[in-house]
């Protein structure tokens, strides 16, 4: 130690070159964060962010505890309430957080669970065999990030209560009365010192709770908003479980099978206890899209994993084996997995001990044993189904064969496009006005409606980083078309070539040439229609563009008013009228209602819609894939009656459906 001390003293250190101009660094500089302080210091490490996503993650953490009680068989109802003051309460009828003293800690179990990281019944004890909150940090994190949190525990005929503020006890655990109730209520108010917003969104919470109710047959989940002017309540209970989930996703499609394929298999260990459960339901429809939602312990495994791999390979094997055995295809023929899955809607839900989550966002199941377990269940159950339903089996295989032919045609079309590009010695569409910058993170491309607006945009843009691609007319509605038809559309081919990242299975985000893809269409019904057609294409064939925040909608102004030689732009009738109320109408020399982008000159288009300093861009995100899938089906599918019903039920969205 002395040798190390002398070595440090002899080193030549220039204080002026060191950070903070000080060479003092000793034991006093080591900071130990006690209790929940690390969470408050670095909240993003624990909940991902401090925006509305992080805010709603708090609710998820609390509800996960109640779900684990349901998985253990002790909870049948969960009630979530957004209270008058903006706090949130989660009540379940489970066993209640234990209230006894933990000898080693000298504190009650409920206080330890709520005030210590990584304390709970999911870390090797016998409290939970299967739980869903393993990759979160638990309710203690919620406590740390809340202005106040109180827990009411009902067990053993007693009502217990404990209160915290920013993670610290302000009212110790005490018995406040007798009760016949059983369970726990957690009430918390997010800390406005931590979060960018503390306002809960009913719709965001509703979509997640509906999903949980589908996955847990018979569980009742209620959501109530008690805030003034926002009062509403919804209750979710699905006695059919994931069968109802598939029906919900598929409700506006013509189905191929008389009923969904459903099975539920339990696998037991050597001691006879259930080690894992596989529950699968799927149905085929007359569409062309593949919709598979996979879950592990109620967690949406958006990146897939071993359970999804087992499902896909089992499905492909069963269909090919049946087709060969019944001589629908020849010995040397084989249907690909994509061909077999065309038009499928499936929900895969597995429950297992000690799940391993991998991937970029920790939503990919890595347990290798689940691949074979799901594969064996699929080959057995689906094989039996096809044997018992020969007519439906044949129709399904004929659909797969048609899909294969269409995919071959699409492949040929892609190859022809590549060869043509090589021969013409160019890889970019002729009408694209590209930018000079080559680092994609600084580049953006405007998809512009029409040649007129395209010409103005090309003149008004900053050609260093802004590319312009004009589209002629409305692109194909890809919701109603197979890939081969999609690739025949000239405007779609131009976008694919310009973006550079490919589509479908060939999509590679690393090859994307622009960080921002901006839909710039007229502020009228036709413009909105073109925009939704573009979004449908991105959603179906380039979904990561939306998921990773590359897609935007430009918002051009509706009005220009000139007063005292000064131009003012307005984006809605309300904005315009509010300006009139404040400034009056005297001195106005011109007033214009823009019918389209082509009515602006290049300078006006730059000032209002192209200039990064002043433009309004709306980033289009995928908050809930299940609901997005449903709405794209309804709004862009074959059934016009569903569109009419949707608009009648959501009149407030009728003029802004794409956003």
633 in the same domain as 520: yes
pLDDT given at position 359: 72
Residue 238 reports pLDDT greater than 50: yes
Q: Would you say residue 350 lies in a domain?
A: yes
Band (217; pLDDT cuts 50, 70, 90) = very high
Band (20; pLDDT cuts 50, 70, 90) = very low
pLDDT given at position 418: 52
- pLDDT tens sequence across 436-469: 999 999 999 999 988 888 999 999 999 999 999 9
pLDDT given at position 652: 43
pLDDT given at position 523: 78
* Domain termination site, one of 350, 381, 408: 408
337 in the same domain as 459: no
Q: Give the range of the structural domain holding residue 505, as residue numbers without chain letter.
A: 426-556+618-653
Residue 632 reports pLDDT greater than 80: no
Give the contacts of 544 (CB within 8 A, at least 6 positions apart).
507, 509
Among the residue ranges 36-50, 229-243, 251-265, the one predicted with the least confidence is 36-50
Which CATH number belongs to the domain containing residue 89 in this structure? 3.30.565.10
pLDDT given at position 33: 43
Residue predicted with more confidence, 424 or 176: 176
pLDDT given at position 25: 39
- Nearest one of 162, 134, 141, 135 to 59, comparing CA atoms: 141
Residue predicted with more confidence, 4 or 93: 93
CA distance 299 to 57: 13
* Residues 7-29, mean pLDDT to the nearest whole number: 40
pLDDT given at position 7: 37
Q: Would you say residue 212 lies in a domain?
A: yes
CB 94 within 8 Å of CB 74: yes
- pLDDT tens sequence across 364-373: 999 999 999 9
pLDDT given at position 49: 84
Residue 34 reports pLDDT greater than 60: no
CB 297 within 8 Å of CB 131: yes
Band (24; pLDDT cuts 50, 70, 90) = very low
Q: Would you say residue 612 lies in a domain?
A: no
- Nearest one of 335, 346, 338 to 282, comparing CA atoms: 346
pLDDT given at position 41: 81
Q: Look over the chain and give the mean of its residue pLDDT values, rounded to a whole number.
A: 84
pLDDT given at position 123: 42
Among the residue ranges 36-40, 273-277, 546-550, 579-583, the one predicted with the least confidence is 36-40
- pLDDT tens sequence across 146-169: 999 999 999 999 999 999 999 999
Q: Would you say residue 643 lies in a domain?
A: yes
274 in the same domain as 157: no
- Residue 298's CB is within 10 A of a number of other CB atoms, namely 21
CA distance 420 to 130: 56
CA distances from 197 to 22, 58, 192, 484 (A): 38, 13, 7, 46
**What is the DSSP-derived secondary structure letter of residue 561?**
E
Tokens of 212: 């949980």
Q: Parallel, antiparallel, or unpaired: how do β-strands 183-190 and 88-92 relate? A: antiparallel
346 in the same domain as 222: no
Q: Would you say residue 208 lies in a domain?
A: yes
Sign of CA dihedral 636, 641, 645, 650: positive
User: pTM of the prediction?
Assistant: 0.74
Question: What are the φ and ψ backbone dihedral angles of 402, each rounded to 5 degrees?
Answer: -60, -40
- pLDDT tens sequence across 566-624: 889 998 888 999 999 888 888 887 788 887 788 889 999 999 999 999 899 988 887 76
Band (325; pLDDT cuts 50, 70, 90) = very high
Active site residue ranges: 449, 522, 524, 526
pLDDT given at position 444: 97
- pLDDT tens sequence across 341-368: 999 999 999 999 888 988 766 789 999 9
398 in the same domain as 450: no
The percentage of the chain sitting over the pLDDT mark of 90, rounded to a whole number, equals 50
Sign of CA dihedral 429, 435, 439, 441: negative
The percentage of the chain sitting over the pLDDT mark of 70, rounded to a whole number, equals 83
Q: Would you say residue 241 lies in a domain?
A: no
400 in the same domain as 273: yes
452 in the same domain as 515: yes
Residue 201 reports pLDDT greater than 70: yes
Which CATH number belongs to the domain containing residue 518 in this structure? 3.40.50.670
CB 377 within 8 Å of CB 263: yes
Residue 394 reports pLDDT greater than 50: yes
pLDDT given at position 414: 62
Residue 302 reports pLDDT greater than 50: yes
Q: Parallel, antiparallel, or unpaired: how do β-strands 107-108 and 101-102 relate? A: antiparallel
Residue predicted with more confidence, 240 or 482: 240
* Domain termination site, one of 350, 375, 408: 408
451 in the same domain as 330: no
Q: Would you say residue 249 lies in a domain?
A: no
CA distance 35 to 45: 16
65 in the same domain as 99: yes
181 in the same domain as 325: no
174 in the same domain as 91: yes
- Nearest one of 569, 420, 435 to 498, comparing CA atoms: 435
CA distance 345 to 656: 28
433 in the same domain as 315: no
pLDDT given at position 542: 92
- pLDDT tens sequence across 474-509: 888 888 888 888 888 889 999 999 999 988 878 899
Q: Which long-range contacts (CB under 8 A, 24 or more apart) does 583-588 make?
A: 587/563, 588/561, 588/562, 588/563
pLDDT given at position 613: 92
- pLDDT tens sequence across 503-533: 887 889 999 999 999 999 887 778 888 888 8
- pLDDT tens sequence across 422-432: 444 445 777 89
Band (6; pLDDT cuts 50, 70, 90) = very low
pLDDT given at position 457: 93
Among the residue ranges 128-142, 296-310, 539-553, the one predicted with the least confidence is 128-142
Q: Would you say residue 503 lies in a domain?
A: yes
**What is the DSSP-derived secondary structure letter of residue 560?**
E
Query: Based on the structure, what is the number of domains in the chain?
Result: 3
Which CATH number belongs to the domain containing residue 365 in this structure? 3.30.230.10
């Amino acid at each position: 130690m002395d040798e190390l001390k002398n070595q440090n003293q002899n080193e030549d250190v220039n204080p002026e070159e060191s950070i903070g101009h000080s060479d003092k660094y000793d034991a006093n500089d080591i900071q130990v964060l006690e209790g929940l302080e690390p969470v408050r210091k670095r909240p993003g490490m624990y909940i991902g962010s401090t925006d509305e996503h992080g805010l709603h993650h708090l609710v998820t953490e609390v509800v996960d505890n109640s779900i684990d009680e349901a998985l253990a068989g002790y909870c049948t109802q969960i009630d979530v309430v957004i209270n008058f003051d903006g706090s949130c309460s989660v009540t379940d009828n489970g066993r209640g957080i234990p209230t006894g003293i933990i000898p080693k800690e000298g504190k009650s179990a409920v206080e330890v669970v709520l005030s210590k990281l990584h304390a709970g019944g999911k870390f090797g004890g016998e409290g939970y065999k299967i739980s869903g909150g393993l990759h979160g940090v638990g309710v203690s994190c919620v406590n740390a990030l809340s202005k106040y949190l109180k827990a009411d525990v009902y067990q053993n005929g007693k009502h217990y209560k404990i209160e915290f503020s920013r993670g610290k006890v302000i009212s110790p655990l005490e018995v406040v009365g007798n009760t016949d109730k059983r369970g726990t209520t957690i009430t918390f108010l997010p800390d406005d010192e931590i979060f960018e917003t503390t306002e809960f969104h009913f719709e965001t919470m509703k979509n997640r709770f509906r999903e949980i109710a589908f996955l847990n047959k018979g569980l009742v989940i209620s959501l109530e908003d008690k805030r003034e002017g926002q009062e509403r309540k919804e209750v979710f209970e699905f006695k059919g479980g994931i069968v109802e989930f598939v029906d919900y996703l598929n409700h506006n499609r013509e189905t191929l099978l008389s009923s969904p394929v459903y099975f539920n298999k339990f696998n037991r260990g050597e001691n006879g206890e259930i080690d894992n459960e596989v529950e699968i339901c799927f149905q085929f429809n007359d569409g062309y899209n593949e919709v598979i939602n996979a879950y592990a312990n109620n967690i949406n495994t958006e990146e897939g994993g071993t359970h999804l791999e087992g499902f896909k390979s089992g499905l492909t094997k069963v269909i090919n084996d049946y087709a060969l055995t019944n001589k629908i295809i020849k010995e040397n023929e084989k249907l690909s997995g994509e061909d077999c899955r065309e038009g499928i809607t499936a929900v895969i839900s597995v429950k297992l001990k000690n799940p391993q989550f991998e991937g970029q966002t920790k939503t990919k199941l890595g347990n290798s044993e689940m691949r074979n377990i799901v594969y064996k269940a699929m080959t057995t159950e689906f094989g039996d189904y096809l044997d018992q339903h020969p007519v439906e089996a044949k129709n399904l295989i004929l659909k797969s064969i048609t899909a294969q032919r269409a995919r071959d045609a699409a492949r040929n079309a892609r190859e022809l496009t590549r060869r043509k590009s090589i021969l013409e010695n160019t890889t970019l569409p002729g009408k694209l006005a590209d930018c000079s910058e080559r680092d994609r993170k600084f580049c953006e491309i405007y998809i512009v409606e029409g040649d007129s607006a395209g010409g103005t945009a090309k003149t008004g843009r900053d050609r260093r980083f802004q590319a312009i691609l004009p589209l002629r007319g409305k692109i194909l509605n890809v919701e109603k078309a197979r890939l081969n038809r999609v690739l025949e559309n000239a405007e779609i081919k131009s976008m694919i070539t310009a973006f550079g990242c490919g589509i479908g299975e060939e999509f590679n985000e690393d090859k994307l040439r622009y960080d921002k893809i901006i839909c710039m269409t007229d502020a009228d019904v036709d413009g909105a229609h073109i925009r939704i057609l573009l979004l449908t294409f991105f959603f179906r064939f380039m979904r990561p563009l939306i998921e990773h925040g590359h897609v935007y909608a430009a918002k051009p102004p509706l009005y220009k008013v000139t007063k005292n030689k000064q131009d003012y732009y307005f984006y809605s009738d309300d904005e315009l009228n509010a300006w009139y109320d404040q400034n009056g109408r005297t001195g106005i020399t011109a007033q214009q209602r823009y019918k389209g982008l082509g009515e602006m000159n290049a300078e006006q288009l730059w000032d209002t819609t192209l200039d990064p300093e002043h433009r309004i861009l709306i980033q289009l995100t995928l908050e809930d894939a299940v609901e997005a899938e449903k709405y794209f089906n309804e709004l862009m599918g074959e059934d016009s009656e569903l569109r009419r019903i949707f608009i009648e039920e959501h009149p407030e969205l009728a003029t802004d459906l794409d956003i």
